Amino acid sequence: MDVARIPDEFELFERIYNYRKSIQHIEREYLDLRVRLRDAEADLRSDSQNRELKAQVDYLKGRLKDLESRHSWISSGRPSEIASCIGQTGGI
């Protein structure tokens, strides 16, 4: 029977750092899409008949929905690195 090994502090922080570095581009894209959607919706409120703005809002909502479905942690409010480290160490 294998006993789960608890990593030392340095190893744990190194894993978290590497994980955060690997997902940073996803978080950056998500934030950019949210800001662009906020701005597009504000513009649409002032010009509700603009088809171009409606299409842009629909596109941005679709991209956000796609990211949220592929990376559920991004909108959950829970830090994703915790689950990642637990999965790698066999339990902390």
Alpha-carbon distance 44 to 53, whole Å? Answer: 6
Whole-structure pTM value: 0.71
| CA proximity to 90, closest of 1, 3, 24 | 3
| CA proximity to 68, closest of 36, 32, 11, 27 | 27
Q: Tens digit of pLDDT per residue, the chain (92 long)?
A: 566 777 788 888 888 889 889 889 999 999 999 999 999 999 999 999 999 999 999 999 999 999 999 988 888 776 666 555 555 544 44
CA angle 62, 68, 70 (to 5 degrees): 105
Q: Give residue limits of the domains in the chain.
A: 9-13+23-89
